[in-house]
Chain A
Amino acid sequence: MFAEYTASELTSIFAMQGFAGLILFSVFVLMALGLAIIFGQMGVINMAHGEFMILGAYITYLTSNVFSEYAQPLFGGYFFVAMLLAFIATFALGALVEWAMIRHLYKRPLDTLLATWGLSLILQQLYRTVFGPREVGVTLPDWLMGSYPLSDMIEIPINGIFVMCITLVISVGVYLWMYRSRWGGQVRAVVQNREMAGAVGINTEKVDRITFALGCGIAGVAGSAFTMVGSTGPTSGQLYIVDTFLVVVFGGASSLLGTIASAFTISQAQSTMEFFLSGSMAKVLTLLVVVGILMLRPQGLFALKIRH
């Protein structure tokens, strides 16, 4: 199938395709990181994860409107403000949800799934009531659109680079927070042994709340970043749920490194298959392979050796 192309065309296409895979990888990591924290560290299944992302996207939409209305000269930089606001809003909502709902359900993890599904329905309808049923168009600053041509064939989408940078920054941030900060130490202590952690003076309730809210906050930032590549509508969040959960589970739920590795594997597999097959079949095959591997190796790629 490659016979009709010249060597240089092929090289550049493989470069481009590799890059497409990297963008997909970043998107997956962004989607899954918040969920991995909540699910992996707390055992809570947050079915409203997609709706938290869309909240971030709507915040971005609002911010862009405010900037183009009142602060046109600063429009180029609004995206950073939007991401910060998205984080704050989703973090706050996450903390509220944890306080009102999740904390009553820690002993019943499967029930968190149902309750958060209910939450997702309410949020969807709320978005529909407030922003209307249509998708909204988020205007991006000019510097984020367009691409940087490396050669005749290879062009690097700037928003792709931007998404990758955000992913990198957030991943590093989460790593430092989890493994190098006092807070992270407390979170890990609570995950490993709640009673003992409480006994040595860790405020486990507060740790839970902050962890959940942080997971939601990251979802908000992800949603904000996705306005560059995806759609923003009341039900857009549902599109992400299956992919996100599979990435987290495939990586081995309690390992952040696993999440990243699994996002890499799945994204590369999908983008390679997309190139050789039709889009639909590539998707089906990717999901099938992931499910198949999970059946053979239920603990995922990277599992912590802990006793259940």
Chain B
Amino acid sequence: MSYGLRSFLPKNDMINILLLAVLIMVIFPLSMDIFRLNLVGKYLSYAFVALGLALCWGYGGILSLGQGVFFGLGGYCMAMFLKLEASSPENTAIQSTPGIPDFMDWNQLTALPWFWEPFHSLGFTMIAIIAVPVIFAFIVSVAMFKRRVGGVYFAIITQAIAAILTILIIGQQGYTGGVNGITDLRTLNGWDIRTDEAKYVLYFLCCTLLIGSVLLAQFVRKSKLGRLLVAMRDKEDRVRFSGYDVSNFKIFIFCLAAALSALGGAMFTLQVGFMSPSFVGIVPSIEMVIFCAVGGRLSLLGAVYGTLLVNWTKTVFSESFPELWLFGLGALFIGVVLAFPNGLAGVYSTYIEPRLSKWFKDLRSMRPPMASSTADTRS
């Protein structure tokens, strides 16, 4: 047991994950007011997507430019439930058809569409948040990976799917809320999600889920599957000739990434209070890729830090120098790709970590022999 744990969570990784947990669950809440913390919560919901991208892009070599689709599907599932709850017949008494969401009423719908009906149930919604995007990801990836579509083609096709879904959502506004999205969400099973206390609770829920997702991703990475993925990314044919069905692994990892994105989308809806097509399209999808790239595509934690860093910079820049923001972001893209292909995590492991460990070693050698021997036995 202890061997199993150690093998998928080596000491270093465990410490790093703990550090992240302390940072987001202790330091941030203590040092920020609820307004800033809510912002961080929003960033962290993007981190789910970046985490999924680290798995499927960094380890699997599958670059998807359509992760916004899954983020959006997850978010919309959550939003549909919340909207139905906010549109109780009492709240919507002034409408010509009470009990349906306000935007449907404006679009002359007189009954709830069939695919909205199941979202009255919280249980179904919970399942749907993961299941809908995963099924969709499964269909897309089976069609593509079984025919050995990969690399650039996959990227462009996922991008086109993001475009299609955006146009569809905007065009079918009677069913989806159109370009305004689904807004004015209030309660979750009677619990008001707009209060400060609720924001705290949701923030910690988001953190817990994120750490859980990191552990899950870590497990996948260290498992045989993870090693196969890396092998596939680097020499797909060899893995195939060794008798593995490459496409199944790809499908699995893509679906996992989709599920993580969807979870992020649902957390986003809960914390921000609405969902709109502007998080589904091409631009947000590519931005999510850059979060992952800045953090380091080969590092799970890097993806989280990258997301935090880019979004934080964006907020700071757009508050102080709105005109410069795009220059900065563009330069960041180019700089990271050209100079630091492995992102922050790469910088850390090449430059900082060796020095840190040397420093620790020096520190240790300076200690009296007693202390050093305890340290040895501990490890």
Give the residues in chain A near B286, CB-CB below 8 Å: 117
Chain A residues within 8 Å of B215, by CB: none
* Contact, CB under 8 Å: A122 / B152: no
Query: Counting chain A CB atoms within 10 Å of each CB, which of B152, B157, B290, B325 scores highest?
Result: B152
A290 to B163 alpha-carbon distance, docked (Å): 13
Q: A110-B155, A121-B326, A291-B160 are in contact. Are A298 and B148 (CB under 8 A)?
A: yes
Q: Are B327 and A125 in contact, CB atoms less than 8 angstroms apart?
A: yes
Give every chain B residue within 8 A of A118 (Cβ-Cβ): 329-334, 337
**In the complex, which of the residues A104, A108, A249, A296 has the most CB atoms of chain B within 10 Å of its own CB atom?**
A249
> Which residue of the partner chain, among B63, B140, B333, contacts A110 with CB atoms under 8 Å?
B63
Whole-angstrom CA separation of A229 from B340 in the bound complex? 41
Chain B interface size, as a band, is 35 or more
Q: How far is the CB of B244 from chain A (nearest CB, A)?
A: 19
Binds A, one of B100-108, B164-172, B262-270, B353-361: B164-172
Please report the C-alpha to C-alpha distance between residue A177 and residue B329 in the assembled complex, in whole angstroms.
Answer: 37
Which residues of chain B are within 8 angstroms of A90 by Cβ–Cβ distance?
A: none
Interface presence of B161 (CB below 8 A) = yes
Q: Does B21 reach chain A (CB closer than 8 Å)?
A: no
Set of chain A residues within 8 Å of B65, measured between Cβ atoms? 113
The reply on B135 being an interface residue by CB < 8 A is: no
Chain A nearest CB: distance from B143 CB in Å? 4
A105 CB within 8 Å of chain B: yes
B47 in contact (CB, < 8 A): no
**Residues of A275-292 whose CB lies within 8 A of B:** 280-281, 283-284, 287-288, 290-291
Query: Which residues on A sit within 8 Å (CB–CB) of B164?
Result: 284, 287-288, 291
Task: Determine if B143 and A122 form an interchain contact, defined as CB atoms under 8 angstroms apart.
Answer: no
- In angstroms, Cα B327 to Cα A125, docked, is 7
A94 to chain B, nearest CB (A): 16
A104 to B161, CA, bound (A): 30
Query: Per-residue CB proximity of B330-366 to A under 8 Å, as 1/0?
Result: 1111101110010000000000000000000000000
Question: Are A108 and B171 closer than 8 Å at their CB atoms?
Answer: no
Q: Is A101 an interface residue (CB 8 A)?
A: yes
A-side contacts of B156, CB under 8 Å:
45, 245-246, 249
**Which residues of B lie under 8 Å from residue A124 when comparing CB positions?**
326
Question: Which residues of B (169-220) have their CB < 8 Å from a CB of A?
Answer: 170-171
Whether A295 is near chain B, meaning CB under 8 Å from some CB there, is: yes
CA A104 – CA B340 in complex, angstroms? 12
**Residues of chain B from 304 to 324 with CB closer than 8 A to chain A in the complex:** 323
| Residue in A241, A246, A253, A280 whose beta carbon sits within 8 Å of that of B167 in the complex | A280
The minimal Cβ–Cβ distance linking B247 to chain A, given in whole angstroms, is 12
Residue B77 at the chain A interface, CB threshold 8 Å: no
How far does the alpha carbon of A31 sit from the alpha carbon of B270 in the complex, in Å? 41
A:218-257 near B, CB below 8 Å: 238, 241-242, 245-246, 249, 253
Nearest Cβ on chain B to A234's Cβ, whole angstroms? 10
CB distance from A293 to the nearest CB of B (A): 11
Are A295 and B334 in touch, CB under 8 angstroms? Answer: no
By the criterion CB–CB under 8 Å, are B143 and A283 in contact?
A: no
Grouping DSSP codes into helix (H, G, I), strand (E, B) and loop, the B interface class, with mixed when no group exceeds half, is helix
Q: Is the CB of A295 within 8 A of B155?
A: no
B-contact 0/1 string along A31-47, CB 8 Å cutoff? 00000000100010100
Q: Does A184 contact B (CB under 8 A)?
A: no
Q: Are B341 and A111 in contact, with the CB atoms below 8 A?
A: yes
Interface size, chain A (Cβ < 8 Å):
43
A119 at the interface (CB under 8 A from B): yes
Q: Check if B152 sits within 8 Å of A241, measured CB to CB.
A: no
B144 on the A face (CB < 8 A): yes
Q: Report the nearest B residue to A45, measured CB to CB.
A: B152
Q: How far is the CA of A221 from the CA of B187 in the complex (A)?
A: 55
Given contacts A129-B323, A298-B147, whether A242 and B159 have CB atoms under 8 Å apart is: yes
A125 near B282: Cβ-Cβ < 8 Å: no
* A125 pairs with B323, CB closer than 8 A: yes
Compute how far the CA of A115 lies from the CA of B290 in the bound complex, rounded to whole angstroms. 10
Q: Which residues of A contact B337 (CB under 8 A)?
A: 105, 111, 114-115, 118
> In whole angstroms, what is the CA distance A126 to B326 when docked?
9
* CB of B151 within 8 Å of the partner chain: yes
A294 at the interface (CB under 8 A from B): yes
Q: Are B290 and A125 in contact (CB under 8 A)?
A: no
Q: B129 at interface (Cβ–Cβ under 8 A)? A: no
**Smallest CB separation, A212 vs chain B (Å):** 16
Q: Does B149 contact A (CB under 8 A)?
A: yes
For B170, the chain A residues whose CB sits under 8 A away are 280
| Interface membership of B28, Cβ < 8 A | no
A157 interface residue per 8 A CB criterion? no
Any chain A CB within 8 A of the CB of B153?
yes
In the complex, the answer to whether B153 meets A294 with C-beta atoms within 8 Å is yes
| A76 interface residue per 8 A CB criterion | no
B327: contacting residue among A45, A109, A122, A246, CB under 8 A? A122
In the assembled complex, the Cα of A245 lies from the Cα of B143 at a distance in Å of 20
By the criterion CB–CB under 8 Å, are A284 and B167 in contact? yes
Given A245-B156, A291-B161, are A114 and B333 neighbors across the interface (CB < 8 Å)?
Answer: yes
Q: Which residues of B contact A294 (CB under 8 A)?
A: 149, 153, 157
**Closest residue of B by beta carbon distance from A285:** B164
Q: Report yes or no: A113 in contact with B157, Cβ–Cβ below 8 A.
A: no
* Closest B residue to A298 using CB positions: B149
- Chain A contacts for B229, CB-based, 8 A: none
Asked if B160 contacts A246 (CB within 8 A), the reply is yes
- Residues of chain A within 8 A (CB-CB) of B159 are 242, 245
- The proximity string for B residues 50-87 relative to A, scoring 1 for CB distances below 8 Å and 0 otherwise, is 00000000000001010000000000000000000000
23 residue pairs bridging A and B, Cβ less than 8 Å apart:
A45-B155, A45-B156, A104-B338, A109-B152, A110-B151, A114-B337, A115-B333, A115-B338, A117-B286, A118-B337, A120-B330, A121-B327, A121-B329, A121-B333, A122-B330, A122-B334, A245-B159, A249-B156, A249-B157, A280-B171, A283-B167, A287-B163, A298-B144
Given contacts A115-B338, A245-B160, A294-B153, 17 further A-B contacts (CB under 8 A): A45-B152, A45-B155, A101-B338, A109-B151, A110-B63, A115-B337, A118-B329, A121-B326, A121-B330, A121-B333, A238-B283, A280-B167, A280-B171, A283-B167, A294-B149, A298-B147, A298-B153
4 residue pairs, one from A and one from B, having the closest CB atoms: A118-B333, A122-B330, A121-B330, A125-B326
